[in-house]
Structure 1
Amino acid sequence: MANKKTHRRFGAVRRLASGQWQARYHGPDGLRHPAPRTFASKREAEQWLSVVEAEILRGEWQNPELSKIPFGEFGRAWLKERKVSQRTREEHESVWRNHVEPFLGNYRLDSIGPAVIRRWRSELLENGRSEDRTAKAYRLVRSMFSTAVDDERLKRNPCRIKGADQYRTPERPHASIAEVYRLADLVPRRYRFLVLLAAFSGLRWGELAALRARDIDRTKMCVRVWRKVAQLRDGALVMGPTKSVAGVRTVALPSFLDADLVEHLPEFAEPGRDGLLFTGKRGGVLRRGNFHRETDWVRTVVKAGLPEGFHFHDLRHTGNQMAAEAGATTRELMQRMGQSTVRAAMIYQHATSARDRQIADELNARVELLRGAERNDDDEPDDGAAGVLASVK
């Protein structure tokens, strides 16, 4: 009875020489598609066909041939087609080359399920990859599978490990106002305003390096951020758009920076309104490596009273911390920082000791004012005390 076909309204089943049953059907593409496996009984094969028929009727059918592509081939095409900055492309390719393709590249797309993803992630950590790097690899793979789902190659994304895309970075140090000024006094004069602007605006290094003189409005005391400089692995500098759409913004500056700006412009900025605001010692766009050498950064931060290992990027943390302590809301911090999500802004929204001290001092002043008014009038509180009482309530 081997190979005996049984025709149905949809599809057909047949018994093979092995005794197993095979199911086949014609898909919406007009091609014949076999089931990905054989079945122990005719009933199981027919039930499988019923499920496929229902998917076609609901418009949920997916061509199974599309999911048979090797993940390595799919991932390489994804990287090539992805529209990102050159610096981001380099980062994606590095993560793919070192942490993804050697582990998952030979798997077929439809053979990678949640169990395979869990095992791959565990192997990365067991083989010494950092939690930060592993989280980046997981986010990259999840994005690739999201595209596979959108392309109707798969029905579900197999990357479903809660929290695997997150990594809590150690809290970075931030400087006090006095430390910022000590640091600004210690670096070469051409970089004094760079240090101050970084600390009191919260701009990123690449955003600062891309600033032109016209980007700072001295009348309104604000800086317009609309592009950045990125340094590629081969050392090339690329001028391009900001990290995200949210990165295009206008940041208000404290008025006291104007005096340092006035001194900086004629001596260290390129001529004209389109000239670079900051340049290296030999002119041209700032390079991070040259800046560190010319400022003797590692030793200089220690001389300024800052902890060893204080990075230039920590000046951005300093500015954001100061803004939070000044009472900036999460939305205001997001705008100032150029962030499109609340996660980064929330880092600075935790209760700081300085802000907590201000709250306690305000409560103390209100209570002392009320109690003093009550002691001065044993009969009835005067209008002033009544007003204080009403404000406390």
Structure 2
Amino acid sequence: MPSVRVRQRAKGAMFTAMYRDPTGRQRSAGTFTSERAALRAARRSESKVETGGWIDQASGRITFRDYVENVWLPSRQVEVSTLAGYRSYLDKHFLPFFGDRPMAEILPSFVQDWVTAAVGSGLSPTSVRKYHVMLHSVFKRAVRDRIIVTNPCESIELPKIPPRKARILTPEEYDQLLSQMPDRFQVLVMTDIETGLRWGELIALRPRHIDFLRKTISVEQTIVEVSRKHSPTGERMIVKDYPKDNEFRTLRVSETLLRSIARRIEQLGLNRDDLIFASTETAGGRPISRNTFRTKVWLPALERSGIDFHVRVHDLRHAHASWLLAGGADLKTVMERMGHSQIMTTQKYLHTLPDADDKALTAFEAVRRRSTP
């Protein structure tokens, strides 16, 4: 209940408006020269508490730096790679711009200034939008904590991402690329195109994950690579006993691939818990760095192959899904094989091969001819 405290002074009585905040703590809504004015102020403040519009003015003076580092970041229940990414984004993009400004003073116009500056610095529209999502999350939490009234990231003008149709590696182009891959890494690339594994899942494979009798590979682990500077554990390569989105899965593979993997295991003398694709051609090797593989192996092989467009290592995963769908596999099966949590993600691989439109037209004409006398 709102109340008023009276204090007698030589010049007359002063009236302090009192109310209780959401935690039950009694607070002042100001001091007035009349009891009626004080009571109105107390009622207004209590109404804000009841409707969720109340904020702690003192808390609003906390700086962006203090809030994200002491409240927001420690509360995030995310994977270590995501946490390391947040730390990197803060250091490079947000703390230099927002760092020492009080949370309550960060208005939409200031967030818009950050977007404008980010675009002007050469940051891509995709990156600006990705970082804005993180920034929006920070202020959303601050609204919930009653640090600020509204989220200043709402209704911000973000750069548009120009539509771009992805080009998928064809089987012929894949053969060109594989032929230029050093012998040491050919089985790795063959495994990736046939399973569609994410990089972290691929380099985490061990002999115990291969069932030669049932002709399957089990996806049970992933290896996350982060910088030591931003790693919560101080380790650069972090092994996790569950893949992304907890999507444990078992994949059928060909006899040809299994023979290649078995030959590699035998030649290197690998134990059941050794990495099949390690940084060295010895048992007990450490995980391969994605960036090292990309710069030292992948890009030189891509250049030698003569393929006339840029292909990422991750594009082998895209090619796997597209080839499955082009070959007639159903969406649900492809979704499970890829480890997607939503079928919408899988649907984007439909009709992505260069000859997909030609095949569609051929199918249309074949049906049309059935009704031609």
Judge same fold: TM > 0.5, yes or no.
yes
Two-structure CA RMSD over aligned residues (Å): 3.9
Output the CA distance in 1 between the equivalents of 2:124 and 2:6.
Answer: 51
Instruction: Give the deviation of 1:329 after TM superposition.
Output: 5.6
Structure 1 residues 16-95: aligned runs within 5 Å: 24-28=17-21, 29-34=24-29, 49-57=42-50, 61-77=54-70, 78-95=72-89
* Structure 1 contact 118–161 (Cα < 8 Å) conserved: no
Instruction: Give the share of equivalent positions with the same residue, in percent.
Output: 24
Q: Is residue 184 of structure 2 the alignment partner of residue 184 of structure 1?
A: no
What's the CA shift string for 1:270-293, capped at 9, x where partnerless? 523323221234431223355356
Shift in alpha-carbon separation, 1:359–1:289, aligned structure 2, 3 A = closer
Distance 2:4 2:17 in 1: 6
1:301-380 pair list within 5 angstroms: 301-307=302-308, 309-327=310-328, 332-341=333-342, 344-349=345-350, 352-371=353-372
- Displacement of 1:96 in angstroms is 0.6
Task: Specify the code of the residue in structure 2 equivalent to 1:305.
Answer: G
Secondary structure at 2:355 match in 1: helix
- Tell me, what secondary structure is at the counterpart of 1:147? helix
TM-score by length of 2: 0.77
Distance 2:264 2:106 in 1: 57
Task: State the partner residue of 2:10.
Answer: none
Contact 1:207 1:242 in 2 (8 A): no
Q: Offset at 1:364?
A: 2.9
Q: More relative contact order in 1 or in 2 (CA 8 Å, sep 6+)?
A: 2
Shift in Å at residue 91 of structure 1?
1.8
Give 1:174 deviation, angstroms. Answer: 2.9
What is the one-letter code of the residue matched to 2:238?
A: V
Letter in 2 for 1:232: V
3-state SS of paired residue (2:261): helix
1:1-393 maps to which residues of 2 (within 5 A)? 10=3, 24-28=17-21, 29-34=24-29, 49-57=42-50, 61-77=54-70, 78-161=72-155, 164=158, 172-234=166-228, 236-241=236-241, 244-254=244-254, 256-268=256-268, 271-283=270-282, 284=285, 285-292=287-294, 295=297, 297-307=298-308, 309-327=310-328, 332-341=333-342, 344-349=345-350, 352-371=353-372
Deviation at 1:95, TM superposition (A): 0.9
| Contact 1:70-1:107 within 8 A present in 2 as well | yes
Q: 1:176 to 1:96 in 2, by over 3 A?
A: same
CA gap of 1:220–1:179, structure 2 versus 1, over 3 A, is farther
Cα distance change on mapping 1:59 and 1:160 into 2, 3 Å: closer
2:12: which partner in 1? none
State the shift of 1:145 in Å.
Answer: 1.9
Distance 1:23 1:190 in 2: 79
Contact 1:184 1:193 in 2 (8 A): no
Could you say which structure has the larger radius of gyration?
1
Deviation digits for residues 296-354 of structure 1, max 9, x if unmatched? x3332233332364222221222122233234565554433333356643432356553
In structure 2, relative to structure 1, the CA distance for the partners of 1:212 and 1:171 (3 Å cut) is farther
Residues 102, 45 of structure 1: alpha-carbon distance in 2 compared, 3 angstrom cutoff? farther
What CA distance in whole angstroms lies between the structure 1 residues aligned with 2:272 and 2:289? Answer: 21
Scaled by the length of structure 1, the TM-score of the pair is 0.74
